[in-house]
């Protein structure tokens, strides 16, 4: 049995952190579903920037849409929706079989809106309506302003992948936004057709403290943060408030462990996948990590729901001068800026391709 199937059987969903038109056109994504137990997919501006800039697969669509004098942003969302609705249809059987727990794909609002609640909500509603797929999440960053948009989006019936979370505290704030949105839906007697995941980024923690802590702490911070957040997740699921939502027919907002590709060249290429085996969660991984895990992976012991030794490990980082609360805020801000840069790069790629391709017409 492949390690991917073993991990799936443990109760953790494996989602691909990638989307390209080639993955769809060649049948590779379908093969990952059939052979590697992949049950969902995520995307972000960086992924689309690389996909569009490095492939001619989008050129025909860009040429057609550019001739309609659309803005680069409008053109991009047309392209993204073409890909993601196709992917959503591939995962639809999983979505139906699991009654909405699994089988999702994700599309992000413009990262430039990370600190603009009203515009984020407006764009989220528009993209959700245009996609017309029950298993498509709209990704909204878990910034303070984003949390307002998330609550309103959930209340409006837009399923949300809360992105750019880095700590237990940020996760709990995102969970609170989801809870408020759902409780308002229950009070209003609305349908139970809304879902959510909360995406906590892992590997960036270890990148941030590389060469700043003793060697014995290398590549341990992200895992400790994941363990701490997993405990908070399980504690929250046990509360009467969450149980009331479940009894009303809503699925819990699942914890999603993101950024699980290994960045340290000295570490195992399946470091985070093995360490973060956690029932009732999602692990969304880059394509290279997925293939590596399928090839030579092994499933470690399930993460303890009580956090294991995470507090002792985090205390060691504290002694080494790492303030995890401050670093979490820094990582969220840096992550937002990084996605804006990728977004700007993506807009330039589309603008350049549009200019060249319209001359061919």
Side-chain half-sphere CA neighbours of 220 within 13 A: 20
Measured CA to CA, the distance from residue 12 to residue 31 in angstroms comes to 19
**Catalytic (active site) residue 65:** no
Measured CA to CA, the distance from residue 357 to residue 133 in angstroms comes to 31
> DSSP characters for 4-54?
HHHHHHHTEEEEEE---HHHHHTTHHHHHHHHS-EEEEE--HHHHHHHHHT
- Cβ-based neighbour number of residue 269 at 10 Å: 18
C-alpha radius of gyration, the chain, whole number: 20
Choosing from 139, 220, 231, 353, the catalytic residue is 139
CA angle 79, 123, 39 (to 5 degrees): 60
What single-letter DSSP state applies at residue 315?
Answer: H
* Positive or negative torsion for Cα 163, 164, 165, 166: positive
Q: Is there a contact between 267 and 219 (Cβ–Cβ < 8 Å)?
A: yes
Catalytic residues: 139
């Amino acid at each position: 049995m492949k390690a991917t199937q073993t991990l799936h059987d443990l109760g953790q969903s494996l989602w691909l952190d990638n989307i390209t038109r080639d993955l769809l056109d060649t049948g590779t994504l379908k093969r990952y579903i059939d052979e590697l137990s992949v049950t969902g997919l995520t995307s972000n501006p960086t992924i689309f920037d690389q996909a569009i800039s490095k492939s001619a697969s989008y050129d025909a669509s860009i040429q057609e849409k550019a001739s309609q004098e659309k803005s680069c942003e409008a053109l991009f969302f047309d392209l993204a929706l073409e890909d993601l609705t196709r992917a959503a249809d591939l995962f639809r059987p999983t979505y139906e079989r699991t009654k909405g727990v699994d089988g999702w794909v994700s599309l992000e609002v413009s990262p430039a809106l990370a600190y603009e609640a009203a515009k984020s909500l407006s764009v989220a509603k528009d993209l959700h309506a245009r996609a017309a797929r029950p298993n498509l999440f709209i990704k909204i960053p878990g910034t303070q302003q984003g949390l307002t948009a998330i609550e309103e989006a959930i209340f409006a019936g837009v399923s949300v992948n809360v992105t750019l979370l880095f700590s237990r505290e940020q996760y709990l704030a995102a969970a609170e936004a989801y809870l408020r949105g759902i409780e308002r839906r229950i009070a209003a007697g609305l349908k139970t057709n809304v879902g959510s995941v909360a995406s906590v980024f892992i590997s960036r923690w270890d990148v941030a403290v590389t060469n700043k802590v003793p060697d014995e702490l290398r590549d341990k911070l992200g895992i400790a943060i994941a363990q701490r957040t997993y405990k908070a997740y399980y504690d929250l699921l046990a509360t009467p408030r969450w149980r009331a939502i479940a009894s009303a027919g809503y699925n819990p907002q699942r914890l999603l462990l993101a950024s699980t590709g290994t960045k340290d060249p000295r570490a195992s290429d399946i470091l985070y996948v093995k360490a973060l085996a956690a029932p009732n969660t999602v692990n969304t991984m880059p394509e290279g990590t997925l293939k590596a895990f399928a090839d030579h992976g092994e499933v470690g012991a399930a993460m303890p729901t009580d956090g294991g030794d995470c507090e002792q490990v985090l205390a060691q980082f504290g002694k080494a001068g790492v303030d995890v609360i401050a670093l979490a805020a820094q990582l969220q801000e840096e992550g937002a800026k990084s996605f804006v840069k990728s977004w700007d790069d993506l807009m330039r790629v589309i603008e350049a391709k549009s200019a060249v391709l319209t001359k061919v017409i």
